[in-house]
Amino acid sequence: MGSTSATIAVTGLGGLAYGLLLFVVAAGLKLILGVMKVMNLAHGASYLAGTWLAYLFADGTLTGLALALAAGLAAATVGGAGLAALLRPLAGHTEQAVVTLGLVGIVVWLFSRISGGSSLTVPRPGLLDGHLSFAGHGYPIYHLVFIAVAALIAVVMHQVLHRSMAGIALRAAIDDPPIAATLGLSATRIRIAAITVGTALAVGAGVLGAPVLGPAPGVDATVLTLSLIVVILGGAGTNIRALLIAALVVGMVDYVGAVVAPGLASFSLFLVVIAVLVVRRQGLRTAVAA
Amino acid sequence: MTTRNLRRQPTGRAVRLARTIAATTGVLMLTAAAGCAGSSLDTTANDTASGDTITVGLILPKTGPYQSLGDDMTEAWDLYLELHGGKLGGHTIVTKTADEGTDEATARKSALKLLDQDHATVLVGSASAVPSAVIAPLAATRHVPFIGTGGRPSDKVIPDVSYVWHTSWQSRETGAAIAPYLARTIKGSVYAIGPAYTGGYDQLGGFTDAFVKAGGKLANPEGGNAPGGNAFAETPFPGTKDYKPYLNKVRASGAKAVYTFYAGADAIQFVKDYRDAGLSDVPLYAAGFLTEGDALESEGANADGIFTVLNYSPTISNQANAELVQDFQKKFNKTPTLYNVTAWDAAQVLDLAIATASATPAGSPSSAPATSPSSAGASLAASNPASAGPTANGNGSPSTSTSAGTVPPVTGQAINTAIAGLGQINSPRGAFRLDPASHAPIQPFYLRKVQSDGRSRSNAVIATLIPAN
């Protein structure tokens, strides 16, 4: 009894979907916080807004999902630009944090008004509804499709960052702002673009991820905390692969940990975070000493 | 190429960034705490406790996973007052509200606000066990009766119940009510799973203790290994956002049924994950909160066929329930829930007790017959005067107003004494009485099944597990 290999496999699949969801959100946060050095605590609220849009447009068809995604990207463009303008005069992280936390308060209040404090169930498109069965275990088809889509997003992101003009400009602006400026790259424009794209990733993840982690009280905080953890574990720089691995570790620890060591489920993730951070520092020290 | 450049700068920055995040979080927590304290600036109620009016402090969740329970309770409380001319036992009621939150600190702050700032004579509310445990000792020291409308934790958590009454249920009795039935009818073992907090321990503990005692066998691994032999599979509370990892273990255990307790937002998630985990062929039994109120509406077809045990269903046939269902249909266009009923009965208990307390000069023994609650009839009497029968005590009639000024204030102590003498109460759930020792209802429990008639879903009674008294 207890955990058979089928139990662990199907749970691992859940961890994979969750890890990829966190990856997309965390990539956005990485762009805003890690790269542009803007402290945006409203990133989880952006995800919540995305799930809410998915709920609004969901009508059981793929068209409804596509409409929600379009609306989400439009909202993220407006919201991201607004956020960039709002945070522009604020230099310090603390000021940015307080202002974005105020935004969280507003979003959470609006959500509790609209939803009456309940979790809202976002219906999956009919085509992707239902679940597959393996050895008596079920797994939702939508989640499998989500895994494929999120993996595709990861690949595209990697390509854009390393192959496209926009990616090169972004990396140039990070690596050497003065030289980038002499080449005619506007730091302001890049900053606005990064915040907008970052927000769009969170909102987009919310729209697509709503049937996985849907609109509910507290979802914004969960997503913010976990994506912060992913960004910190992923380390500095624009290393997409490290970020992906960090996100998958978080997803797996959260899911498989719940089956293997249920007693530790509420804090096992933090044990891993502490272990990774300590080992990384230790590693650096030995590297310096050598 | 670029990655090499990047790797040189990061460590200092990453550490600084992490530190900033930590520092900011600290600042934010302080800000949040200050914000909460500021919200209770309420300058109005200075001594509303004159002869004619009584201030009731209503403490319910306005935030967190149980917010919708709080909304249900508030609406029933308001409706009762509306149908009774804003009065209970002949006294005009001033209702002050506060948020019980999800933690002890918020509950304590809100209770103190109601007691110290609003000078509440009575406290009513609490949707979960945690705030209940915080409010109980405050009520006892201040001699303010507290009528709980949500789960009552076990005696270990509230040792002194002298000023505590519940119109709801004791957290352990729901599971205990269905345990013998499941031990008898399920041919095989039952997997017990629930949230790891006071309410979950009591709800599931009440079930597993009674279930094992009745000869049942638990399927979850904890059930065999723990010293008591009757533990349940725990999920972190609050904050479990996906129950599938926990549910994935049910199949391998060979369980023939699952018993659980979740409420509010958690219940919706659990029911959805139960279907997604491919467990539709394993019957799901639960404490009724799983499919109660807004939760059932959000769960939709996923909830069909779930069996639950609870002390209320809108399909119970008795006159008080028929009237309540009709009143709710008329006012809100929906059927009442247990959360509506506990708040409704809290108002009813106070209606009766305040009438007795104000009819009885301090010290003299109560002579008012407390056994015929005015409220069941009065709910219609207020909305439809033609059908009003003669009520036993004049205080119940909405138009009778004892002249202000000459009436001495009714104390919390007097109300508390009057509640103790109430006897049988005609609740929509069926008649119940408040146990003189536990101060909680001795009441019926029903086995219900979620059924859809194509237009709407309801928890239909399919059997009575414990009859009304």
Rounded Cα distance between B462 and B302, Å, is 19
| Contact check, Cβ <8 Å, A1/B254 | yes
Nearest residue of A to residue B251, measured between CA atoms: A136
| Contact check, Cβ <8 Å, A2/B9 | no
pLDDT for position B385: 37
Please give the average per-residue pLDDT across A191-208, as a whole number. Answer: 95
pLDDT in tens, A234-288: 887 778 899 999 999 999 999 998 888 877 877 888 888 888 888 887 765 665 5
Mean pLDDT of chain B: 82
| Contact check, Cβ <8 Å, A136/B18 | no
Beta pairing partners, B450: B459
Nearest residue of A to residue B248, measured between CA atoms: A7
Beta pairing partners, B58: B97, B124
pLDDT for position B23: 55
Higher pLDDT, B375 or A115: A115
pLDDT for position A272: 87
**Residue A165: is its pLDDT beyond 90?**
no
Rounded Cα distance between B68 and A186, Å, is 49
Higher pLDDT, A36 or A26: A26
pLDDT for position A153: 94
Q: Beta strand pairing status for B91-99 and B87-88? A: antiparallel
- Asked if the domains B47-169+314-438 and B173-310+444-466 are classified in one and the same CATH topology, the answer is yes
pLDDT-derived band at B29 (thresholds 50, 70, 90) equals very low
**Residue B395: is its pLDDT beyond 70?**
no
Nearest residue of B to residue A108, measured between CA atoms: B63
pLDDT for position B362: 52
Q: Where exactly are the structural domains of chain B?
A: 47-169+314-438, 173-310+444-466
Please give the average per-residue pLDDT across A96-120, as a whole number. Answer: 89
pLDDT-derived band at A171 (thresholds 50, 70, 90) equals confident
Which of B10, B20, B245 faces A11 most closely, judged by CB atoms?
Answer: B245
A contact test, residue of B36, B232, B241 with most A CBs within 10 A? B241
pLDDT for position A3: 56
**Residue B42: is its pLDDT beyond 90?**
no
Name every residue whose Cβ is closer than 8 Å to that of residue A164 and which is 6 or more positions away in sequence: none
Question: Mean pLDDT lowest for which of A98-112, B179-193, B400-414?
Answer: B400-414
String of DSSP letters for B182-204: HHHH-SS-EEEEEEESHHHHHHH
Q: Residue B353, SS3?
A: helix
User: Where does B150-287 show beta strands of DSSP type E?
Assistant: 164-166, 190-196, 233-236, 257-260, 284-287
pLDDT for position B459: 95
Task: Spell out which residues of chain A touch residue B234, defining contact as CB-CB under 8 Å.
Answer: 262-263
Domain B173-310+444-466: CATH architecture, name and number where available: 3-Layer(aba) Sandwich (3.40)
**Residue B330: is its pLDDT beyond 90?**
yes
Q: How many CA atoms lie within 13 A of B156 on its CB side?
A: 6
Task: Spell out which residues of chain A touch residue B265, defining contact as CB-CB under 8 Å.
Answer: 117-119, 216-217
pLDDT for position B396: 40
Question: Mean pLDDT lowest for which of A27-41, A183-197, A233-247, B390-404?
Answer: B390-404
Please give the average per-residue pLDDT across A149-158, as a whole number. Answer: 94
Q: What percent of chain B has pLDDT over 90?
A: 63
Nearest residue of A to residue B13, measured between CA atoms: A236
Higher pLDDT, A191 or A236: A191
CA distance A77 to chain B (A): 26
CA distance A112 to chain B (A): 8
Select B47-169+314-438's CATH number: 3.40.50.300, 3.30.470.20, 3.90.320.10, 3.40.50.2300. Answer: 3.40.50.2300
Task: Spell out which residues of chain A touch residue B8, defining contact as CB-CB under 8 Å.
Answer: none
pLDDT-derived band at B221 (thresholds 50, 70, 90) equals confident
pLDDT for position B64: 78
Rounded Cα distance between A89 and B220, Å, is 57
pLDDT for position B48: 42
Query: What's the pTM value of the predicted model, to 2 decimals?
Result: 0.77
Beta pairing partners, B218: B190
B contact test, residue of A137, A139, A222 with most B CBs within 10 A? A137
Question: Mean pLDDT lowest for which of A277-281, B382-386, B463-467?
Answer: B382-386
pLDDT-derived band at B400 (thresholds 50, 70, 90) equals very low
Higher pLDDT, B29 or B238: B238
Question: Mean pLDDT lowest for which of A206-215, B20-29, B404-413, B455-464?
Answer: B20-29
Task: Spell out which residues of chain A touch residue B242, defining contact as CB-CB under 8 Å.
Answer: 14, 18, 213, 255
Mean pLDDT of chain A: 89
Which of B3, B248, B276 faces A140 most closely, judged by CB atoms?
Answer: B276
Sign of CA dihedral B248, B250, B254, B256: negative
**Token digits for B405?**
């000024």
Q: What percent of chain A has pLDDT over 70?
A: 96
Contact A137, B276 (CB under 8 A): no
Please give the average per-residue pLDDT across B443-453, as a whole number. Answer: 95
Q: Residue B23, SS3?
A: helix
pLDDT for position A112: 86
Which of B5, B14, B245 faces A255 most closely, judged by CB atoms?
Answer: B245
**Token digits for B236?**
């972190």
Q: Which of A105-114, A119-128, B288-297, B303-312 has the highest average model confidence (pLDDT)?
A: B303-312
A contact test, residue of B15, B24, B296 with most A CBs within 10 A? B24
Distances from the Cα of B142 to the Cα of B115, B162, B163, B219, B406, angstroms: 8, 11, 9, 46, 26
**Token digits for A78?**
């407006």
What DSSP state is assigned to residue B115?
I
**Residue B80: is its pLDDT beyond 50?**
yes
| Contact check, Cβ <8 Å, A94/B14 | no
Q: Which of A8-12, B146-150, B356-360 has the highest average model confidence (pLDDT)?
A: B146-150
Contact B261, B205 (CB under 8 A): no
pLDDT in tens, B337-379: 999 999 999 999 999 999 999 886 554 444 444 444 444 444 4
Nearest to B331 by CA among B376, B382, B377: B382
Task: Spell out which residues of chain B touch residue A135, defining contact as CB-CB under 8 Å.
Answer: 251
